[in-house]
Amino acid sequence: MEYTIKMIADFLGGTIEGNPDKIIRGFAKIEEGKEGDLTFLANPAYTRFIFTTGASAVIVNRDFKPDKKIGATLIRVDNAYEALAQLLTFQEQQKEKPKGIHKLAFLDQGVHVGEDAFIGAFAFVGKNVTLGNNVIIYPQVYVGDHVTIGEGTVLHPGVRIYHDCRIGKNCIVHAGTVIGSDGFGFAPKSDKNYRKIPQVGKVILEDDVEIGANVTIDRATMGATVIHHGVKLDNLIQVAHNVEIGKNTVMAAQTGIAGSTKIGSNCMFGGQVGISGHLHIADGVKIAAKTGVPSTIKKENMIIEGIPALPRLEFQRSFICFKRLPDLVKRLEKLETLLEEKKS
């Protein structure tokens, strides 16, 4: 990467304050920037670093107002974080993508491979698999029989896709993730043992889905577990059988969703959220980290928190009382003692 600040500003539709001719060779965090680096300021908590950064240029929001002189050139845009994402995406697209089938990859009968696809060493592709154009399958990936993978999708090393699953276009699945493992289905028997219920469904990932590392998405008992368009799942998430996640919903690490729960569109879950089975979560719901959700959330765009989940303001008021419990207990004990003394 080597561009002038003017070229970058033109690409982003931004305006420049400072020297437009400086050369940018890379990216850096604002507190670590040096000559030739480009950085950004989107979070006000990092504002102090803009006055000391050694970076040549800083992307800032148009309404940013410094209270003292800044040494770096500023590129003002509507949304600094979005502009950075745009630049990083552009840089990533410039990298040469691998193509071809490695001689140590194994392809079973009936595999269809699209144009400019890549299959790395020790990857296994089962019978009657269809791979779209520009699909990238890194080494040691397993793709089971009758799987379909859409154009431009990337499977990172160690991904396992079980039989009959369907992956859409431009998806990214990170290392160690398992898609299509059996759902947790067991029927209690009279002798207190359990009979396994065969899981005969599948998993469907629609287009533009990104799945983090070491995620498990179970196949449906019947029908399909469905991850809709644009969903983003962080690392170490469990999605149980017959779950449905609505479009553009995002979830942070270690979230767990029990079977047959339906999540709406444009929801946001913090880390370690737990959702019970057979629930419905309305569109736009935001759930704070470590929240436990035992019942259906019908109202759209709610913010909930706590165990069990409550509307956020209600939870925060309750938590203030909870913190006072030790003092309240002491006062209660003191009152009980006084009452006993009066009785005697």
* Catalytic positions: 241
Within 8 A by CB and 6+ apart from 17, the residues are: 73, 74, 76
Task: Give DSSP secondary structure letters for 64-116.
Answer: ---SS--SSEEEEES-HHHHHHHHHHHHHHHSPPP-EE-TT-EE-TT-EE-TT
Tokens 């913090």 locate to 270
For residue 174, the SS3 value is coil
Structural contact between residues 170 and 192, judged by C-beta atoms closer than 8 angstroms: no
Closest CA to 8 of 52, 55, 58: 58
Both tokens assigned to 288: 């704070």
Within 8 A by CB and 6+ apart from 229, the residues are: 168, 206, 207, 208, 209, 247, 248
d(CA 112, CA 109): 9
CA triple 174-85-65, angle to 5 deg: 145
- Exposure of 329 by Cβ count < 10 A (0-12 exposed, 13-18 middle, 19+ buried)? exposed
Amino acid at 274: G
The terminus-to-terminus CA distance of the chain in angstroms comes to: 87
